[in-house]
Structure 1
């Protein structure tokens, strides 16, 4: 746990409210929402001098909202808006149930308000809010006039920065005046300290490549023995086009559906990239995420195609939520497809786009040597977690020659072109709601036998 900052409690009643209700808030978020919601609000702790210290379970350097770049601020505000929208919906759902604590509903209502910029911090590219309950009149004023959110923090912040600047200048002047009084041995120590970080930098570059290659090379020991047989075996197309009664269960192709569950998948499919920039500048988040969203259409189309797959084919599910959060399921048998569709319904967009890691996990779920395998990747953008999906796709194809990756490219981003070409797959673009069903049908069509009702 890291300390973000400390603030002076101007109102004792408000301070006590924060300290008394944080545990209830944290428990509600953990119980009803994904894990990333539990880190959205910083934990307040009262220090011995009466100030409030704010802590977070995230690891990284806390950065105030005002010190972020314009692009980083837009991304952070968009993520906060999405999560606050989910909190507001949670409050509505709980209010319809009997036996829900009214104090919890009041608390959820308070934290659903968009915070002032001075209360927003970034830790490891994730938003952290220094939450504090606002009076009814204050929340109404801020909700009714968005300009106040941006203008008021500026007026409060300037005097505070001025005092800090004067203090820094005074310290620098004092150090300069006393420089002759300091022992020279200390200066030698200060000069040598920067050397260790320079020596440490080369090892930091190597681990970036290893996480991708190690999991993918696991099947390598078996590849030299089986690879020649994969070429001699009858063409994969023959097996793919056979009905279940015409092939062994072990010959049925394996399917993995990979969902890009990054934050951008919550954007409406009707919003173009140009419109997105325009709306972000004006913080029109509700219009950006109006239905039908990209993730909604992707889930509906995927569930329809699952119903059309032959009765001897297993289907696995991979959801790429963020750089360090990619979930992969065990294969669902044909009788477990209702559970598979329920798992798809639970996918909620959040974070960045780890395509390389998602492909790596999907490839580990299939044989691809003695058995055909198809990975259906549904995504709307490029890799944003530092991975190399093209290299992963190339390694998968080398180790699993009967594996193919077809890409459903939302909004024609072109991000999946290399992935498909490296594995002998195809790219299918979907730029509107009407194209989704047709495109996903085309992407899996080669694995659905014609005139087969089994």
Structure 2
């Protein structure tokens, strides 16, 4: 945990307690990826107020970011806000009106002066505090009450001498820009342009591409593990020695993670050289890990990094989808996300609702799902975004289906017409 900033002003103990209870409520219902949106208030020395965060990295004020980073930070802020809004509605329906009312006070536009970026994650400080009033003007002294003699007339405000159209011109330009942006977003929402095969279109811009690779604990199970075997292992198998025949069979090679690594390496070998690959893995219900973007010359390093991955913890399916979507365009530029997973979200999040929201905000983002378990609860992600679903639990089938899942960015896709690019 690190301190972001310290205020010289003090905070009443009642208000500080109320702010801390809101943070605790967020932490109860959300993983750190959402709960960290609001900095943690703490009382410092001499009654000062300090703002802390569990996130690592250097705190960067919003104003210090470049325009691209600012836009990405606001997208992630809005996604966190959407998650809180959905929870408020759900709590209201479940009869938890007090919790819903408390969380509703956290919904709103960000104060950019108090918005920070920590490892590209949005963090708000000084939230929940009453607005600070400007300092009162000092009273005039008796000498100030009488005007000083002057032979000059008070100058008129310079802007009053400008023509009205020149004064309104900046406002008009701003309105035209907002109208263009709004109409563009609305058109794409009503007429989504689905991503095609990049290698089949002359002069196309390379789409953004990200892979979400499941590294939850269930990936340590044998590729042929049945749902009954998995339930048995979770209920009683963990208390048995590894020599137990059924447990030994469930944990035997090839595991889901082993197959995933093999299929991933095969997939990377099929990508078009223009395509840059972003890799996102799981960190249990604490969140996700963004390994960065790998160009063609960095693919051997990417494969090496994947081979060293282990599997542990829960399945933050919805959080990983939010992470991947925040790293690609998907609104004015084609984007593809491939999720290689073995089941549903295991961190109390609704991946179906999240994917539906992303589809509305990023209509040119397609998510293909490669599922190596018998669960179908992650299929809605592909259905909501116009993607495809692949299901398999055999080594050969998994490799083939992962290869088909990246058809849009493959080096030699099956083009539909003879005029396709070679």
User: Normalising to structure 1: TM-score of the pair?
Assistant: 0.48
SS at 2:333's partner residue? coil
Q: How many residue pairs align between the two structures? A: 249
Q: Does 1:292 align with 2:254?
A: yes
Instruction: Tell me the residue number matched to 1:275.
Output: 229
Map 1:272-351 to 2 at 5 A: 272-278=226-232, 281-282=236-237, 283=240, 284=244, 285-351=247-313
- Structure 1 position 288, deviation (Å): 2.3
Instruction: Tell me the residue number matched to 1:381.
Output: 343
Q: Does 1:257 align with 2:205?
A: no
- Structure 1 position 447, deviation (Å): 3.2
- Structure 1 position 287, deviation (Å): 3.3
- Structure 1 position 203, deviation (Å): 5.6
Comparing both chains, which one has the higher relative contact order based on Cα–Cα distances under 8 Å and sequence gaps of 6 or more? 2
SS at 1:422's partner residue? helix
- Structure 1 position 315, deviation (Å): 0.6
- Structure 1 position 254, deviation (Å): 1.7
- Structure 1 position 410, deviation (Å): 1.4
- Structure 1 position 396, deviation (Å): 1.4
- Structure 1 position 240, deviation (Å): 2.4
SS at 2:293's partner residue? coil
Q: Deviations over 1:378-437 (max 9, x none)?
A: 111111111121122112111111100111111220021111111011111012223111
Q: Deviations over 1:14-67 (max 9, x none)?
A: xxxxxxxxxxxxxxxxxxxxxxxxxxxxxxxxxxxxxxxxxxxxx9xxxxxxxx
Q: Which runs of 4+ in 1 moved over 6 A?
A: 207-210, 220-223, 231-234, 451-454
Q: Kindly indicate whether the alpha-carbon contact (under 8 Å) linking 1:239 and 1:252 is maintained by their aligned counterparts in 2.
A: no
SS at 1:264's partner residue? helix
Change in Cα spacing, 1:376 to 1:209, as seen in structure 2 (3 Å) is farther
Return 5+ residue gaps in structure 2 as ranges: 2-53, 55-95, 109-114, 116-120, 123-177
Find the partner of 1:418 among 369, 372, 380: 380
Instruction: Tell me the residue number matched to 2:396.
Output: 434
Q: Kindly indicate whether the alpha-carbon contact (under 8 Å) linking 2:194 and 2:366 is maintained by their aligned counterparts in 1.
A: no
Cα distance in structure 1, aligned partners of 2:254 and 2:104 = 42
Q: Kindly indicate whether the alpha-carbon contact (under 8 Å) linking 2:193 and 2:364 is maintained by their aligned counterparts in 1.
A: no
User: Normalising to structure 2: TM-score of the pair?
Assistant: 0.52
Map 1:56-205 to 2 at 5 A: 201-202=99-100
SS at 1:299's partner residue? helix
- Structure 1 position 202, deviation (Å): 4.7
Q: Kindly indicate whether the alpha-carbon contact (under 8 Å) linking 1:409 and 1:415 is maintained by their aligned counterparts in 2.
A: no
Return 5+ residue gaps in structure 1 as ranges: 2-58, 60-197
Change in Cα spacing, 1:238 to 1:441, as seen in structure 2 (3 Å) is closer
Cα distance in structure 1, aligned partners of 2:221 and 2:191 = 45
Q: Does 1:240 align with 2:198?
A: yes
Change in Cα spacing, 1:239 to 1:268, as seen in structure 2 (3 Å) is closer
- Structure 1 position 453, deviation (Å): 10
Q: Kindly indicate whether the alpha-carbon contact (under 8 Å) linking 1:314 and 1:333 is maintained by their aligned counterparts in 2.
A: yes
Instruction: Tell me the residue number matched to 2:363.
Output: 401
Instruction: Tell me the residue number matched to 1:369.
Output: 331
Cα distance in structure 2, aligned partners of 1:422 and 1:206 = 27
Q: Deviations over 1:229-251 (max 9, x none)?
A: 647999655562436xx325xx1
Cα distance in structure 2, aligned partners of 1:261 and 1:336 = 22
CA RMSD, 1 decimal:
3.7
